[in-house]
Amino acid sequence: MIEFPLGATTLAHFAGDPHPRLARLRAHEPVSWLPALNGWLVTRRDLALDVMRDAETFTVDDPRFSTAQVVGPSMLSLDGDEHARHREPFTAPFRPREVRDGFAEFIERETGRLVAALEPAGAAELRGTFAGPLAVAVVTEALGLVGAGTDTVLSWYDAIVRTVSEITAGGTAGTAGREAYAQLRTAVEATVAQGADSSLLASAADRLAPAEVASNAAVLMFGGIETTEAMITNALLHLLRHPDQLALVQADFTLLDGAVEESLRLEPGAAVVDRYATRDHTLGSARIRKGDLVTVSLAGANRDPAVFPDPDRFDVRRANARLHLAFAHGPHYCLAAHLARLETRIALRHLLDRLPALRLDPDHPADPHGLVFRKPPTLHVLWG
């Protein structure tokens, strides 16, 4: 553990532009002990897969797991039979056909409403006025949550994300995240009490305890908003930064799927996932000890040149872009990945169709930022 020949890497190195440093680690030290993490960082794709597939050796079920510290045990922080018990009641609506049949019309309608409100202005900050509200509306619809408007849900989400990020970075979490979760739990309990047939939460309550329904609702909301908001914002940023690729998509909207996958590869909304070693284990050339934190860099694995030639290039025609690990892998593969993809495709198509000459606002530069969750803090655009 005391050897890290590439030198100490601070967490700040990963918040801005982590990709050059990740490339160096991946090439020379793909399982690296980082004192700033007090754990190992895995940056090579094959080794990342080894970790995420092997839940017996690399578990999420550990008191240090940041999200569980805020919302309690859930499908995100359990493994084995308990993980399956928590996850199974929520799986049916998120299968491909059910997603298309159950959500496409709602997403089209909500996206159309948001774009129509933006159209006359000729300028907007799209993360806050479009991507975030759309993601919240879809998650609220998916869960069947009643009595909570978009602004309220966004405030809960922001507080929970900040608290989880503070814990992950080794800081002392404030009370805001736990207070937000308490309010969310009250809303979940009210939804379950109504027993609405269309509510996924009410359906899950037939098989899970009230606290378990609330904790899983929190991680679904947390993941659904974070993943999709980042997907929409990052994909639009990639397209607008690469006019040649944007022109290909505008000439042939069947390439939009490739643009979304390539953006996920280059800048996954969740840059890392954490696991904890349940036993001594050799990973690559590193000797992992029982109890060690093992952090998988999805951002690093997604630019592995052994899998993705010219890995830093944005190419909407990349044949194997879907081999990215932006939705993780193994037992904890993102439950709502199909919904996030559908939502992002519809959102981008509406924006590109209805906002002519859409372009970045040069007075407001935008770059992805964040240690754990990566997207631009703002995305200012002009059109017309």
Angle between helix axes 243-251 and 210-241 (nearest 10 degrees) is 100
pLDDT attached to residue 158: 85
Residue 297 lies inside a defined structural domain of this protein: no
> Does residue 247 lie within any of the structural domains?
yes
In a domain, 295, yes or no: no
Model pLDDT, residue 1: 46
**Residue owning tokens 């000459």:** 357
62 domain residue, yes or no: no
Main-chain phi, psi angles of 350, to 5 degrees: -65, -45
Token pair for residue 219?
Answer: 């991680």
pLDDT at residue 8 in the model: 66
**pLDDT at 6 (0 to 100):** 66
d(CA 125, CA 237): 12
Beta-bridge partners for 286: 283
Return the CATH number at 349: 1.10.630.10
The count of structural domains within the chain is 1
Both structure tokens of 257: 């799927």
**Residue type, position 315, single letter:** D
Query: pTM here?
Result: 0.93
pLDDT, residue 197, reads: 64
Query: Measuring CA to CA, which residue among 41, 57, 89 is closest to residue 273?
Result: 41
Residue 205's domain comprises 68-264+313-382
Q: What is the identity of the amino acid at 70?
A: V
Residue with tokens 């019309």: 105
Task: Give the pLDDT of residue 148.
Answer: 82
Residues of the chain short of pLDDT 50, as ranges, are 1-2
Give pLDDT, residue 145. 84
Give me the count of residues in the chain: 384
- E-strand ranges in the chain read 31-34, 39-42, 58-59, 123-125, 272-277, 281-283, 286-288, 293-297, 359-360, 380-382
User: Are the beta carbons of 137 and 157 closer than 8 angstroms?
Assistant: no
Cα–Cα distance for residue pair 158/129, rounded to 1 Å: 15
pLDDT for residue 137: 93
Q: Tell me the CB-side half-sphere exposure of residue 381, using CA atoms within 13 A.
A: 26
